[in-house]
Amino acid sequence: MKKWSVVAILGAAQFVMVLDGTVMNVSISTVVVDLDTTVTAMQAAITFYTLTMAALMLLGAKLGDVWGRRRAFVIGSCIYALGSLMTALSPNVQVLFLGWSIIEGVGAVLVIPAVAALIADNYEGTDRITAFAVIGAVSGAAVAAGPLIGGFLTTYASWRYVFVGEVVIMFFVVLFTRVIHDRTARQVAHIDVWSVLLSAVGLVFVVLGMLQSKTWGWITPLHSPEIGGVEIAPLGISLCAWLIVAGAGLLALFVRRQRHLSAAGRQPLVDVELFRIARLRSGLAVLGAQYAITAGLFFMVPVYLQMTLGLDALETGLKIFPLSISLILFSIVGTRLSRLWSPRRIVRIGQIALVLSSILLLASVDLELQNFAFGFGMFVAGAALGLLASQLGNVNMSSVSESQTSEVGGLQGVFQNLGSSLGTALIGSVLIGALASTFALGVSSSELSAETKALVSEQTESGVAILPAADVADIAKEAGLDETESAELTRIYTDSQISSLHTAFFALIVIAFFALFFSRGIPTEVMGRKSEKADAPPAT
CATH number of the domain that residue 283 is part of: 1.20.1250.20
Give percent of the chain above pLDDT 70: 91
Q: Is the pLDDT of residue 357 over 60?
A: yes
Q: Do 230 and 121 belong together in one domain?
A: no
Q: Is the pLDDT of residue 2 over 60?
A: yes
**Res 174: pLDDT:** 94
Q: Is the pLDDT of residue 415 over 50?
A: yes
Q: Do 24 and 116 belong together in one domain?
A: yes
| Total number of domains in the chain | 3
Packing angle, helices 160-175 and 125-156, rounded to 10: 150
Q: Do 405 and 514 belong together in one domain?
A: yes
Quote the distance between the C-alpha of residue 505 and its chain's center: 16
Confidence bin at 366 (pLDDT 50/70/90): confident
Q: Can you tell me the distance from the alpha carbon of 327 to that of 291, in angstroms, rounded to the nearest whole number?
A: 14
Q: Can you tell me the distance from the alpha carbon of 513 to that of 10, in angstroms, rounded to the nearest whole number?
A: 33
Domain for residue 536, yes or no?
no
**Res 54: pLDDT:** 76
The 8-class DSSP code of residue 175 comes to: H
- Least confidently predicted of 236-250, 299-313, 342-356: 299-313
**Res 97: pLDDT:** 92
What Å distances lie between residue 286 and 14, 42, 456, 506, CA to CA? Answer: 20, 27, 43, 19
**Res 530: pLDDT:** 46
Confidence bin at 257 (pLDDT 50/70/90): very high
* Domain's final residue, options 182, 213, 245: 182
* Domain's final residue, options 268, 291, 319: 268
Domain for residue 187, yes or no?
no
Confidence bin at 92 (pLDDT 50/70/90): very high
Domain for residue 438, yes or no?
yes
Q: Can you tell me the distance from the alpha carbon of 342 to that of 247, in angstroms, rounded to the nearest whole number?
A: 37
Q: Do 423 and 439 belong together in one domain?
A: yes
Q: Which residue has the higher pLDDT, 157 or 250?
A: 250
**Res 532: pLDDT:** 43
Q: Do 351 and 498 belong together in one domain?
A: yes
> Do 61 and 113 meet the contact criterion of CB atoms below 8 Å apart?
yes
Q: Do 46 and 172 belong together in one domain?
A: yes
Stretch 57-85: mean pLDDT: 90
> Do 472 and 493 meet the contact criterion of CB atoms below 8 Å apart?
yes
* Domain's final residue, options 233, 253, 268: 268
Task: Provide the residue type at 354 as one letter.
Answer: L
> Do 426 and 210 meet the contact criterion of CB atoms below 8 Å apart?
yes
Q: Do 313 and 458 belong together in one domain?
A: yes
What Å distances lie between residue 53 and 130, 198, 456, CA to CA? Answer: 26, 15, 40
Confidence bin at 529 (pLDDT 50/70/90): low
pLDDT tens for each residue of 192-246: 899 999 988 998 888 788 777 767 777 877 676 767 667 777 888 888 889 999 9
Confidence bin at 350 (pLDDT 50/70/90): very high
Confidence bin at 285 (pLDDT 50/70/90): very high
Q: Do 154 and 254 belong together in one domain?
A: no
Domain for residue 530, yes or no?
no
> Could you list the residue range(s) of the whole structural domain that residue 222 is in?
192-268
CA dihedral sign of residues 131, 132, 137, 139: positive
Q: Do 239 and 289 belong together in one domain?
A: no
Cα within 13 Å of Cα(195), Cβ side? 23
Domain for residue 261, yes or no?
yes
Stretch 413-439: mean pLDDT: 81
Q: Do 254 and 393 belong together in one domain?
A: no
**Res 540: pLDDT:** 44
**Res 534: pLDDT:** 41
Stretch 316-331: mean pLDDT: 83
Domain for residue 78, yes or no?
yes
**Res 367: pLDDT:** 60
Q: Do 46 and 92 belong together in one domain?
A: yes
Percent composition of the chain: helix, strand, coil (DSSP 3-state, to 5): 80, 0, 20
Domain for residue 412, yes or no?
yes
pTM > 0.85: yes or no: no
- Least confidently predicted of 76-80, 190-194, 222-226, 386-390: 222-226
Q: Which residue has the higher pLDDT, 50 or 297?
A: 297
Give the pairing of strands 230-231 and 226-227: antiparallel
- Least confidently predicted of 143-152, 169-178, 529-538: 529-538
Stretch 111-139: mean pLDDT: 80
Q: Do 407 and 455 belong together in one domain?
A: yes
Domain for residue 486, yes or no?
yes
> Do 205 and 252 meet the contact criterion of CB atoms below 8 Å apart?
no
Task: Provide the residue type at 262 as one letter.
Answer: S
The dihedrals phi and psi of 529, each to the nearest 5 degrees, come to -100, -35
Of 419, 529, 435, residue with least CA distance to 54:
419
What Å distances lie between residue 500 and 151, 266, 421, 460, 511, CA to CA? Answer: 24, 50, 20, 16, 17
**Res 465: pLDDT:** 67
